[in-house]
């Protein structure tokens, strides 16, 4: 039989179209179920029923197997559960990762990751993912959406979504033979039968659609191409700032002229002195600015200060690199001020600060052989730099200095050495001074001493 | 066939020997399709539709202007203050999201319970859900202040912020719950509508209609294999939506219950919020469907029995809500915490006492009228009662929120007064809701045509037959 229908087909359909199915109409769902039953009994396998609503009992009549959709949804749901828990752990309980690090939220001392607090979001993510899996899974399994369906060319078939019921026998079924199948459908109670043809003449994509498709393809290429072009580029303009937030706020900088609150013709400054900001009220001192105690803050006995221009950083700046004339000096303190208690911890602190600020030039042992000094001396030797070599702290001249003088050197600098009072707090400067004093007591010899020793020792040794 | 049945047959009387018909007037399948599709096919909708739509669009315009004003000026245009940081936006949010819940209850929970009467009302109720969730999402969405960085709500890695949302915060749970709810409701609604959109496609007259409905129907033909998977998917979505709808209002109630404020820190909040949500949602369905069925001549599909069933649910959930109000007071007294006691006495007799009594009157006393059959079956009466219920449920959220004005320390007490923008935005949100609903009525199938056919007397009759035949052929 299969042979004969293959023989018939080209004769029946002609070159322009091909018969793909017979469409039979039924008037009520009951008749459809009965017809489906008969079709299955007659050995048809490739057929389907169409109805405006799901007809009770049709699955058994056609022999539709139960869909696997629930298992697919279950798999997605389990995956979503794992993903949701991982997401929450990752973003709220970790803070290290190669890309987009998490952020540890410490809130009221609660644990970073606790299941009860993470259940709501986990649940919602499971439901959301499962709903998507159900929705899209159903359409994919049904082979929808579909751009065109030959069945919809049959006017009668439009009532499949209204009030009629259809049985469609596919021509590709082995049992299909046009005349016999038509006869069978009539026997089973079909009220109308029509042929469904596949149009073979019109299978090309319309030219306009194709052109639009190509254009769209190029349009899709544009964003990655642009990103590729700008990747790694440098710009002179500031970045586009779409959301200004509070990144720029109107304000007046300190030490600037204040606004004009009058008219351009008759200007009136905000403050009488024209400044944008007020000076402190006379007699007030800002926190941390009370530095009355000369011994503690400046290292000399109260009332023995020389005039400003003769010492301190100003003098150092004015004198530049030139070897300074010995300026007039105050009477340095030779014991630590009362506010300081020198003990092991204090000296340790001094050592630590010394190794941060001083060793670059003075070296770990205080002999003036720090790396910066070595390099600068070698440059000075070739005339590439002006440099007064760092002093050895074991030089007898330094050794004999009172502690107040060492404190002053750290604070205000000497010769090439700059002032450190802006970098190092007062107490730490005293700690460094204490450490320098301790270093000097170790008996390390200065290079000059060593040279002297050698000068005297060599003849004796020989 | 049932063609001889009188159209005026009352299906509200219980006859234990047979199930009441859900479609009256002996409608055939074709009649049902025509009845629903006529609304869409009509050259112009009824005049009343134009009036409602016109008013709704004006209100929507007011909402739009208020939103622009808000975006440019900041949230200071509201009456929100210290201590009432949330104000109207959260009241409106909870109000609208609660209304949405009835739609999911009808479409999912009643489906799982095989309540066939849901088929006539589920489409409109689901549409109402989505539009209500749109209104609900609007308020917290604009309450964040800097709406242009709204994406900080989601776990999106941003270089600017360099941190993630806090997943242990009820406010973040809200983002996930409401977002999931809106998405799943939309999927459910659309999927349920595809066979009916295919019906519209097959009746479309103009080219534009053919294209739009052709695309939206995704090539649906009603194949038995497709129906099989479709029904399975519908059941799974219903099974997913059922716990989801309970979780959403539970999480919304966590916004309050997880905090330490007297009057908020209670475990009764989740069930009490869910009951209140269903209560207000059903009231909104009644408010919408009674005019719809008259306007679009759907009396034979949305019968008095459908409306009566909904009114019974309103009464039942109203009693639950009333019980919850009572239990709150009992626990406040029984718990023995001075602050709780004060919070509840203040609720009834304090600075916002009047709102409390509006709430109790509208939510507990007025729905009791539904014990009387006349109120359950009279169209005007049920609409008035359902509007009262919605007023009451809005005030319920307002009353809860006003707990903020009287917390532990008298020094931190304050009062809240809404600004004009607050009030206009509340009214404007109704404009948004009704605009969307009017458009839905005009352009989409407002009744689930295929589902109604499935439970119409014609099918049920055929099914009986069918069973018989099947047996006969099997043996």
Model confidence over B214-247: pLDDT tens digits?
Answer: 999 998 998 999 999 999 999 999 999 999 999 9
**Who among B202, B254, B467 is closest to A158 (CB)?**
B202
**Who among A52, A67, A118 is closest to B167 (CB)?**
A118
The pLDDT value given to residue B326: 94
A residues 41-60 closer than 8 Å to B (CB): 48-59
- Mean pLDDT for A147-151 is 83
**Who among B176, B218, B229 is closest to A124 (CB)?**
B176
Shortest CA distance from A51: residue in chain B: B222
Model confidence over B245-265: pLDDT tens digits?
Answer: 999 999 999 999 998 899 899
Tokens (6 digits) for B250:
């539970």
Q: Assess whether pLDDT exceeds 50 at residue A364.
A: yes
- Mean pLDDT for B272-298 is 92
What ranges in A14-68 are assigned the alpha helix state H?
A: 29-41, 58-62
Confidence of residue B103 (pLDDT cuts 50, 70, 90): confident
Q: Assess whether pLDDT exceeds 50 at residue B289.
A: yes
Q: Determine, for residues A30 and B469 on separate chains, whether the beta-carbon distance falls below 8 Å.
A: yes
Tokens (6 digits) for A94:
């970790």
Residues in chain B with CB shorter than 8 Å from the CB of A98 are none
The pLDDT value given to residue B16: 67
Confidence of residue A317 (pLDDT cuts 50, 70, 90): low
The pLDDT value given to residue B461: 67
Q: Confirm if A130 and A77 have CB atoms less than 8 A apart.
A: yes
User: Å from B70 to nearest chain A CA?
Assistant: 16
Of B205, B167, B96, which is closest to residue B428 (Cα–Cα)? B96
Angle between helices A344-357 and A426-440 (to 10 degrees): 100
What ranges in B258-364 are assigned the alpha helix state H?
A: 269-295, 304-335, 338-349, 353-360
Residues in chain A with CB shorter than 8 Å from the CB of B231 are 54
Select from A23, A81, A90, A135 the residue whose CB has the most chain B CBs within 10 Å, as the one to mutate to test that interface.
Answer: A135
The pLDDT value given to residue A114: 87
Tokens 């006379």 -> residue: A282
* Whether A108 contacts chain B with CB within 8 A: no
Tokens 């059903």 -> residue: B282
Confidence of residue A99 (pLDDT cuts 50, 70, 90): confident
**Who among B184, B453, B473 is closest to A131 (CB)?**
B184
A residues 271-300 closer than 8 Å to B (CB): none
Confidence of residue B297 (pLDDT cuts 50, 70, 90): confident
Q: Determine, for residues B453 and A53 on separate chains, whether the beta-carbon distance falls below 8 Å.
A: yes
Distance, in Å, from the CA atom of B147 to the CA atom of A433, rounded to the nearest integer, reads: 58
The pLDDT value given to residue A223: 92
The pLDDT value given to residue A313: 53
* Whether A92 contacts chain B with CB within 8 A: yes
Shortest CA distance from B189: residue in chain A: A135
The pLDDT value given to residue A285: 86
Distance, in Å, from the CA atom of B181 to the CA atom of B187, rounded to the nearest integer, reads: 10
Sheet containing strand A192-199, edge to edge, reads: A47-50, A165-170, A17-26, A192-199
Q: Which of B21-30, B180-189, B361-370 has the weakest average pLDDT? A: B21-30
Distance, in Å, from the CA atom of A354 to the CA atom of A131, rounded to the nearest integer, reads: 67
Q: Assess whether pLDDT exceeds 50 at residue B472.
A: no
Q: Which of A172-186, A407-421, B194-208 has the weakest average pLDDT? A: A172-186
Q: Determine, for residues A54 and B231 on separate chains, whether the beta-carbon distance falls below 8 Å.
A: yes
Other beta carbons less than 10 A from residue B50's beta carbon:
12
Shortest CA distance from A168: residue in chain B: B223
Residues found in chain B? 475
User: Å from A75 to nearest chain B CA?
Assistant: 14
**Who among B28, B223, B240 is closest to A131 (CB)?**
B240
How high does pLDDT run on average in chain A?
84
pTM over 0.90: no
Q: Please give the full DSSP string across A130-171, using - where no structure is assigned.
A: HHHHHHHHHHHHTT-S-S--GGGGSGGGGGGGTT-EEEEEET
The pLDDT value given to residue B27: 80
Model confidence over B303-319: pLDDT tens digits?
Answer: 888 899 999 999 999 99
Model confidence over A73-87: pLDDT tens digits?
Answer: 999 999 999 999 999
Q: Determine, for residues B224 and A139 on separate chains, whether the beta-carbon distance falls below 8 Å.
A: no
Q: Please give the full DSSP string across A287-342, using - where no structure is assigned.
A: TT-----HHHHHSB-TT-PPPGGGSHHHHHHHHTTSPPP------B-SS--TT---
Residues in chain B with CB shorter than 8 Å from the CB of A135 are 187, 191, 233, 237
Of B449, B437, B433, B435, which is closest to residue B193 (Cα–Cα)? B449
Q: Determine, for residues A52 and B251 on separate chains, whether the beta-carbon distance falls below 8 Å.
A: no
Confidence of residue B4 (pLDDT cuts 50, 70, 90): very low
- Mean pLDDT for B70-88 is 90
Model confidence over A109-146: pLDDT tens digits?
Answer: 888 888 888 999 999 999 999 999 999 999 999 988 88
* Whether A69 contacts chain B with CB within 8 A: yes
Q: Determine, for residues B227 and A91 on separate chains, whether the beta-carbon distance falls below 8 Å.
A: no
**Who among A34, A59, A163 is closest to B29 (CB)?**
A163
Confidence of residue B63 (pLDDT cuts 50, 70, 90): very high
* Whether A312 contacts chain B with CB within 8 A: no
Q: Determine, for residues A29 and B466 on separate chains, whether the beta-carbon distance falls below 8 Å.
A: yes
Distance, in Å, from the CA atom of A413 to the CA atom of A420, rounded to the nearest integer, reads: 7
Burial string for A215-240 (b: 16+ CB within 10 Å, else e) reads eeeeeeeeeeeeeeeeeeeeeeeeee
**Who among A117, A120, A135 is closest to B187 (CB)?**
A135
Residues in chain A with CB shorter than 8 Å from the CB of B233 are 69, 134-135, 137-138
Distance, in Å, from the CA atom of A154 to the CA atom of A24, rounded to the nearest integer, reads: 11
The pLDDT value given to residue A13: 46
The pLDDT value given to residue B455: 83
- Mean pLDDT for A157-168 is 89
Shortest CA distance from A50: residue in chain B: B223
Select from B107, B168, B204, B254 the residue whose CB has the most chain A CBs within 10 Å, as the one to mutate to test that interface.
Answer: B168
The pLDDT value given to residue B133: 93
Confidence of residue A459 (pLDDT cuts 50, 70, 90): very low
Model confidence over A223-253: pLDDT tens digits?
Answer: 999 988 888 888 888 877 777 777 788 888 8
Confidence of residue A8 (pLDDT cuts 50, 70, 90): very low
The pLDDT value given to residue A7: 44
**Who among B183, B229, B473 is closest to A138 (CB)?**
B229
Select from B108, B151, B222 the residue whose CB has the most chain A CBs within 10 Å, as the one to mutate to test that interface.
Answer: B222
Confidence of residue B436 (pLDDT cuts 50, 70, 90): very high
* A258 or B18: which leads in pLDDT: A258
Q: Determine, for residues B226 and A142 on separate chains, whether the beta-carbon distance falls below 8 Å.
A: yes
List CB contacts of A233: < 8 A, sequence separation 6 or more. none
Distance, in Å, from the CA atom of B25 to the CA atom of B35, rounded to the nearest integer, reads: 12
The pLDDT value given to residue A10: 44
Phi, psi for A45 (deg, rounded to 5): -115, -40
Q: Determine, for residues B223 and A49 on separate chains, whether the beta-carbon distance falls below 8 Å.
A: yes
List CB contacts of A178: < 8 A, sequence separation 6 or more. A5, A8, A12, A19, A22, A171, A195
Confidence of residue B444 (pLDDT cuts 50, 70, 90): very high
Residues in chain A with CB shorter than 8 Å from the CB of B467 are 57
- Mean pLDDT for A339-344 is 91
Q: What is the dihedral of CA B323, B329, B333, B336, to 10 degrees?
A: 100
How high does pLDDT run on average in chain B?
88
Which domains does chain A show, CATH number per domain? 14-203 (no CATH), 252-284 (no CATH), 294-448 (1.10.760.10)
Confidence of residue B462 (pLDDT cuts 50, 70, 90): low
Confidence of residue A316 (pLDDT cuts 50, 70, 90): low
Domain boundaries, chain B: 22-466
Residues in chain B with CB shorter than 8 Å from the CB of A107 are 166, 168
**Who among B222, B251, B459 is closest to A120 (CB)?**
B251
The pLDDT value given to residue B468: 43
Distance, in Å, from the CA atom of B287 to the CA atom of B310, rounded to the nearest integer, reads: 11
Phi, psi for A4 (deg, rounded to 5): -65, -35
Residues in chain A with CB shorter than 8 Å from the CB of B221 are 50, 149, 151-152, 157, 160-161
- Mean pLDDT for B330-355 is 92
- Mean pLDDT for A335-356 is 93
Rg of chain A on CA atoms, in Å: 48
Confidence of residue A462 (pLDDT cuts 50, 70, 90): very low
Model confidence over A274-313: pLDDT tens digits?
Answer: 888 888 888 888 887 888 888 899 888 887 776 555 555 5
Distance, in Å, from the CA atom of A409 to the CA atom of A301, rounded to the nearest integer, reads: 16
Percentage of chain B beyond pLDDT 90 is: 60
The pLDDT value given to residue B285: 93
CB pairs under 8 A between A and B: 215
Distance, in Å, from the CA atom of B364 to the CA atom of A316, rounded to the nearest integer, reads: 89
The pLDDT value given to residue A3: 45
Q: Assess whether pLDDT exceeds 70 at residue A324.
A: no
**Who among A92, A124, A135 is closest to B177 (CB)?**
A124
The pLDDT value given to residue B70: 93
Select from A31, A53, A84, A107 the residue whose CB has the most chain B CBs within 10 Å, as the one to mutate to test that interface.
Answer: A53
Range with the largest mean pLDDT of A56-60, B293-297, B313-317: B313-317
Q: Assess whether pLDDT exceeds 80 at residue A326.
A: no
Of A231, A221, A214, A172, which is closest to residue A196 (Cα–Cα)? A172
Q: Determine, for residues A62 and B180 on separate chains, whether the beta-carbon distance falls below 8 Å.
A: no
């Amino acid at each position: 039989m299969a042979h004969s229908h293959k023989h018939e087909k080209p004769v029946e359909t002609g070159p322009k179209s091909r018969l793909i199915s017979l469409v039979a109409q039924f008037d009520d769902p009951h008749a459809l179920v009965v017809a489906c039953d008969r079709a299955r009994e007659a050995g048809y396998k490739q057929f389907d029923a169409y109805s405006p609503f799901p007809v009770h009992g049709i699955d058994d009549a056609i022999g539709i197997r139960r869909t696997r959709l629930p298992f697919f949804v279950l798999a997605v749901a389990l995956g979503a559960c794992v993903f949701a828990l991982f997401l929450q752990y990752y973003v709220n309980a970790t803070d290290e990762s190669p890309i987009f690090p998490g952020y540890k939220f410490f809130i009221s001392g609660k644990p970073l990751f606790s299941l009860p607090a993470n259940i709501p979001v986990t649940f919602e993510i499971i439901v959301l993912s499962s709903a998507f899996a159900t929705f899209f899974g159903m359409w994919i399994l049904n082979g929808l959406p579909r751009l065109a369906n030959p069945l919809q060319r049959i006017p009668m078939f439009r009532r499949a979504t209204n009030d009629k019921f259809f049985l469609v026998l596919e021509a590709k079924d082995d049992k299909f033979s046009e005349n016999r199948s038509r006869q069978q459908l009539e026997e089973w109670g079909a009220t109308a039968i029509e042929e469904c043809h596949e149009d073979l003449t019109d299978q090309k994509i319309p030219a306009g659609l194709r052109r639009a498709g190509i254009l769209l393809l190029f349009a899709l290429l544009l964003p990655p191409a642009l990103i590729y072009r700008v990747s790694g580029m440098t710009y002179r303009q500031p970045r586009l700032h779409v959301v200004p937030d509070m990144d720029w706020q109107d304000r007046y900088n300190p030490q600037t002229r204040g606004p004009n609150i009058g008219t351009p013709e008759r200007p009136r400054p905000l403050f009488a002195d024209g400044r944008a900001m007020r000076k402190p009220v006379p007699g007030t001192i800002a926190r941390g600015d009370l530095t009355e105690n000369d011994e503690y803050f400046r290292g000399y006995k109260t009332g023995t200060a020389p005039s400003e221009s003769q010492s301190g950083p100003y003098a150092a700046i004015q004198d530049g690199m030139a070897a300074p004339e010995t300026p007039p000096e105050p009477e340095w303190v030779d014991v630590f001020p009362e506010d300081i208690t020198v003990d092991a911890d204090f000296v340790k602190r001094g050592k630590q600060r010394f190794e941060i600020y001083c060793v670059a030039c003075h070296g770990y042992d205080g002999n003036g052989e720090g790396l910066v000094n070595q390099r600068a001396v070698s440059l000075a030797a070739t005339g590439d730099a002006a440099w007064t070599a760092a002093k050895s702290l074991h030089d007898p001249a330094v050794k004999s200095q009172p502690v107040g003088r060492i404190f002053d050197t750290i604070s205000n600098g000497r010769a090439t050495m700059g002032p450190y009072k802006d970098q190092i707090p007062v107490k730490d400067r005293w700690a460094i001074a204490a450490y320098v004093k301790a270093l000097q007591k170790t008996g390390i010899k200065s290079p000059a001493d060593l040279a002297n020793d050698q000068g005297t020792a060599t003849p004796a040794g020989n | 066939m049932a063609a001889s049945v009188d159209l005026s047959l009352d299906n509200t009387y219980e006859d234990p020997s047979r199930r009441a018909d859900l479609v009256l007037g002996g409608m055939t399948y074709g009649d049902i399709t025509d009845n629903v599709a006529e609304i869409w096919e009509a050259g112009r909708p009824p005049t009343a539709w134009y009036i409602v739509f016109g008013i709704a669009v004006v209100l929507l315009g007011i909402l739009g202007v208020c939103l622009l004003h808000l975006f440019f000026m900041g949230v200071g245009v509201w009456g929100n203050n210290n201590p009432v940081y949330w104000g109207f936006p959260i009241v409106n949010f909870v109000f609208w999201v609660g209304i949405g819940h009835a739609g999911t209850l009808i479409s999912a929970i009643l489906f799982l319970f095989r309540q066939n009467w849901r088929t006539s009302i589920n489409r409109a109720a689901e549409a109402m859900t989505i539009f209500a969730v749109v209104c609900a999402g609007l308020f917290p969405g604009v309450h964040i202040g800097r709406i242009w960085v709204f994406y900080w709500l989601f776990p999106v890695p941003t270089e600017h912020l360099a941190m993630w949302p806090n997943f242990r915060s009820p406010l973040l749970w809200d983002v996930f719950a409401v977002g999931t709810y809106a998405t799943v409701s939309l999927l459910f609604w659309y999927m349920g509508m595809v066979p009916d959109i295919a019906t519209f496609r097959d009746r479309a007259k103009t080219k534009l209609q053919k294209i739009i409905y052709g695309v939206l129907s995704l090539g649906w033909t009603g194949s038995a294999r497709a129906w099989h998977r479709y029904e399975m998917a519908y059941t799974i979505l219903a099974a997913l939506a059922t716990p989801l709808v309970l979780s959403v209002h539970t999480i919304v109630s966590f916004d309050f219950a997880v905090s330490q404020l007297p009057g908020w820190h209670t475990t009764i909040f989740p069930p009490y919020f869910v009951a209140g949500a269903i209560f207000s949602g059903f009231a909104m369905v009644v408010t919408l469907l009674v005019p719809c069925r008259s306007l679009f001549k759907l009396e034979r599909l949305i019968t008095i029995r459908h409306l009566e069933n909904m009114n019974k649910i309103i009464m039942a959930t109203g009693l639950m809500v009333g019980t919850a109000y009572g239990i709150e007071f009992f626990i406040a007294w029984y718990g023995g915490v001075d602050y709780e006691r004060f919070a509840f006495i203040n609720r009834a007799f304090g600075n916002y006492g009047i709102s409390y009594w509006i709430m109790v009157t509208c939510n507990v006393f007025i729905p009791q009228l539904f014990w009387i059959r006349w109120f359950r079956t009279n169209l005007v009466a049920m609409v008035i009662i359902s509007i009262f219920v919605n007023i009451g449920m809005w005030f319920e959220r307002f009353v809860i929120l006003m707990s903020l004005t009287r917390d532990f320390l008298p020094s931190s007490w304050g009062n809240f007064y809404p600004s004009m923008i607050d009030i206009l935005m509340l009214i404007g949100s109704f404009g948004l809701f009704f605009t969307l609903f009017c458009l839905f009525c005009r352009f989409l199938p407002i009744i689930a045509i295929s589902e109604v056919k499935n439970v119409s007397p014609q099918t049920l009759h055929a099914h009986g037959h069918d069973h018989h035949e099947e047996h006969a052929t099997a043996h």
